[in-house]
Amino acid sequence: MNKKQQNLVDYLKESTEKSKKLHKERIFLDNIIVIIKDYFINDINLDKVLDKVKKYIPNHLFVNIEAIYIGQFKELIDRDLTASYMDGAIYITNEQQNEQIMFEDIVHEVAHSVEDISGFSMYEDNKINREFLSKRMRLKSILKEAGYEVDHIRFDKTEYDKNFDMYLYKSIGYDVLNNLVVGLFCSPYGATSIREYFANGFEHYFTKNSKLVKEVSPQLYIKLIELEKNIYTGEETDDMSY
């Protein structure tokens, strides 16, 4: 192989490596690194998903996110999760069913990242807490009236309780809950804990149906308006576009 041929081989090899790196890594919103640890098992257009996230969620609400990792992660597998926010990063499985579900997963974890830095400010007046607990107790009455055994389950807690989660998921089932929580929660998963109540409302407010949040969860709705105005994550802004 002569020098000219060797240079061509070296150039092609370097181009291939650059292409691989570009395919597995990209920058989102100028400062968030997105790394594909394991390729998607289904046909997912990641750029399309990220563009949609950018379209619906105001940029200042990403302030607590440094990276998004996609692939197989022990933390997700052990907890049977499709996504999780941990220590400034979103971890999301590569086993995505479709782009819409992946979009919703990312938005949900953005909500948890926002709560991570602004939760105390949002919750200190106890308005969301009281709203959430009143709904949990109302749900208890609804389930009891429907013939379900409820006395062994704690409905008076705001934090996550695995027994409560499994009770809703296994003993009741979300198909049944979908009908029972109409007008009470934006969706059944919002009843799981106050953190999920917030994240569920966040999803609906920014990407689905803000009017539903206003009707169902008025106190949460007020806090989400304030978040959109950047009251809890930074200086207040009049920029309401997203």
Question: CB neighbours of 197 closer than 8 A, spacing ≥ 6?
Answer: 128, 132, 135, 185, 190, 191, 217, 220
Instruction: Tell me whether residue 29 is in a domain.
Output: yes
Average pLDDT value for the chain: 86
Instruction: Tell me whether residue 234 is in a domain.
Output: no
Joined together, the tokens standing for residue 99 give: 């782009």
pLDDT single digits (tens) 187-223:
998 999 999 999 999 999 999 889 999 999 999 999 9
Check whether residue 103 and residue 139 sit in a common domain. no
pLDDT at 25: 87
Instruction: Tell me whether residue 84 is in a domain.
Output: yes
Instruction: Tell me whether residue 235 is in a domain.
Output: no
Check whether residue 94 and residue 159 sit in a common domain. no
pLDDT single digits (tens) 145-173:
999 999 999 999 999 998 999 999 889 98
- Where is 51: in which H helix or E strand? helix 46-56
Higher pLDDT, 119 or 46: 46
Q: Does the pLDDT of residue 30 top 60, yes or no?
A: yes
Of the candidates 153, 155, 150, the one whose C-alpha atom is nearest the C-alpha of residue 194 is: 155
Check whether residue 104 and residue 132 sit in a common domain. no
Check whether residue 131 and residue 105 sit in a common domain. no
User: What predicted TM-score, i.e. pTM, was given to this entire model?
Assistant: 0.82
Check whether residue 131 and residue 84 sit in a common domain. no
- Where is 5: in which H helix or E strand? helix 3-24
Assign 230 to helix, strand or coil. coil
Out of 96, 118, 140, a domain closes at 118
Which residue range is the domain that position 87 belongs to?
Answer: 3-118
Question: CB neighbours of 28 closer than 8 A, spacing ≥ 6?
Answer: 34, 50, 54, 68
Q: Are 69 and 88 in contact (CB under 8 A)?
A: no
Q: Does the pLDDT of residue 177 top 50, yes or no?
A: yes
Out of 78, 95, 118, a domain closes at 118
Instruction: Tell me whether residue 57 is in a domain.
Output: yes
pLDDT at 8: 47
Out of 118, 153, 176, a domain closes at 118
Stretch among 52-56, 96-100, 108-112, 173-177 having the lowest mean pLDDT: 173-177
Check whether residue 32 and residue 75 sit in a common domain. yes
Q: How many domains does the chain have?
A: 2
Joined together, the tokens standing for residue 144 give: 């009891």
Check whether residue 206 and residue 224 sit in a common domain. yes
Check whether residue 207 and residue 176 sit in a common domain. yes
- Interatomic CA distance for residues 199 and 228, integer angstroms: 14
pLDDT classification of 18: cutoffs 50, 70, 90: very low
For range 13-28, the mean pLDDT: 61
For range 53-79, the mean pLDDT: 94
